[in-house]
Amino acid sequence: MRNRDWAYWLFLTPVLAALILVVIIPLLFGFYYSFTNWNGLGRLDFVGMQNFIDLFEDKRFMSSFWFTIKFSVAAIVMINVIGLGLALIVTSKIKTSSWLRTVFFMPNLIGGLILGFIWQFIFIKVFGAIGDVTGIEGLNGWLSTTGTGFWGLVILTSWQMAGYIMIIYIAYLQAVPEDLLEAAEIDGANGFQRFRHITFPLVAPAFTVSLFLTLSHSFKIYDQNLSLTNGAPYNSTEMVAMNIVRTAFTDNEMAYAQAKAVIFFVIVAIVSLLQVYFNKKREVEL
């Protein structure tokens, strides 16, 4: 028993040390700096809640915050719908299912910056060329307006994340008992009825996991936002993460940026935990 305890702490210690040094200590320092006027160089005076008061009066920050919320809602819905659809395709009895799983998952392996530049080329050059040939004016000037920039970010994120979320849904779909589906089919249930009354309730835990992952990912996007639109036009597609980075490293207002990050962290944590709580409760009801 003693050897087991010793080995347990031996393997756990490096992980705990990394967690404390990389996450816990910086988080505590961040909370402290958010109550100061630190500019990243030398000045450090305690200002209390002033940074938090200022950020709620910061129109640019509030605009980026609401844009992030709208983007997150659209991206979460689209990613989960597409991910579940892809999972249903690759778990059906088709010969190319293994190959399709690889193809659908591959976009998740590409870095955010590279993805942004790839889709920037598609939205501007490819869409523009198609618009010139077909005469569809709506395809010209993509990413030049707030609306098209918004949907460009949603499409990019969905393309990247759908394959990853697909893997989670596959794990739960493969755990659905075949005898239940066969019994329902014998009783006359069609494909939609079998999915609605048997498959969907049994994969409910997958929704809890997938919603948590897509929500946290959508809120903290930075790389894709930087390379696809860079906040243009006129910072109307600037998301919270980009706003915080620019406040810190462009305006050199480190403490103010940290106050924004603290508020952002608290909001995302509350929303994520509430989502997990209500989805877990729904799983029990199902």
What would the pLDDT profile of 62-114 be if each residue is shown by its tens digit?
Answer: 999 999 999 999 999 999 999 999 998 998 878 888 899 999 999 999 888 89
Which among 57, 66, 64 is positioned nearest to 244, based on CA atoms? Answer: 64
Q: Give 178-187 contacts, CB < 8 A, sequence gap 24+.
A: none
Query: Are 181 and 198 within 8 A, CB to CB?
Result: yes
CA-to-CA dists, residue 236 to 30, 68, 104, 123, 230, angstroms: 27, 11, 31, 18, 10
Nearest to residue 214, comparing CAs of 96, 76, 98, 120? 76
Fold of the domain built from segment(s) 58-285: MetI-like fold (1.10.3720)
Give the separation between CA 227 and CA 121, rounded to whole angstroms.
11
For the cut 60, the answer to whether the pLDDT of residue 186 exceeds it is yes
Nearest to 215 by CA among 79, 63, 62, 82: 79
- Closest of 144, 285, 126 to residue 205, by C-alpha: 285
Judge whether 210 and 169 are in contact, CB under 8 Å: yes
Q: Decide if 276 contacts 208 (C-beta within 8 A).
A: yes
Measured distance CA(214)–CA(91) in Å, rounded: 22
0.95 exceeded by pTM: no
139 pLDDT higher than 50: yes
Please provide the average confidence, as pLDDT, over all residues in the chain: 88
Query: What is residue 138's DSSP assignment?
Result: G
Q: What would the pLDDT profile of 262-285 be if each residue is shown by its tens digit?
A: 999 999 889 888 888 887 776 644
Q: Answer for the pair 283, 201: CB distance below 8 angstroms, yes or no.
A: no
Angstrom distance (rounded) from CA 115 to CA 78: 18
Q: What is the rounded CA–CA span in Å between residue 242 and residue 63?
A: 12
Model pLDDT for residues 200-244, shown as the tens digit of each residue? 888 888 888 898 889 888 988 999 999 999 998 889 999 999 999
Query: Which DSSP letter does residue 176 get?
Result: S
1 has pLDDT over 50:
no
Q: Residue 260's closest CA among 56, 47, 68, 5? A: 56
For the chain, give every domain's residue range. 58-285
Q: What average pLDDT score do residues 15-38 get? A: 92
End-to-end CA distance of the chain: 41
